[in-house]
Amino acid sequence: MVNDLLDPGRPALRLREDRRRGSYVEGAREETLLDADHALVLIAAGDANRKVRFDDNLASRNTCRDWVFSWTECLKNHKTA
């Protein structure tokens, strides 16, 4: 099961692969990063939405530790006068 940690109310999402995009989570919330600090804020928000559950049968703590964090860099060709 894949959950969107930036939008925890969404139903379970699917992990997909594409030749152009690579691996991605279909339907996951996407953000345009303003700077490195903005990225850290989003990571902290996602971390705050992680869930921990206890399995009575194993009497152990289970938590998902895998994250999908994708960074796509778009360079714009700005002509200077």
Separation between Cα atoms, residue 71 and residue 31, nearest integer Å = 10
Residue 81 in any domain: the answer is: no
Residue 16 in any domain: the answer is: yes
Residue 14 in any domain: the answer is: yes
Q: What is the C-alpha radius of gyration for the chain, rounded to an integer number of angstroms?
A: 17
CA dihedral 47, 53, 3, 44 (to 10 degrees): 0
Residue 9 in any domain: the answer is: yes
Q: What is the pLDDT of residue 30?
A: 87
Q: What is the pLDDT of residue 40?
A: 93
pLDDT tens digits for 20-67?
A: 888 888 888 888 888 889 999 999 998 888 876 665 655 555 555 666
Q: CA distances (Å), 46 to each of 38, 60, 61, in order?
A: 12, 23, 20
Q: In which domain, by residue range, is 54 found?
A: 1-72
Q: What is the pLDDT of residue 35?
A: 87
Q: Which residue has the higher pLDDT, 5 or 70?
A: 5
For the question of whether the overall pTM of this predicted structure is more than 0.75, the answer is: no
Residue 42 in any domain: the answer is: yes
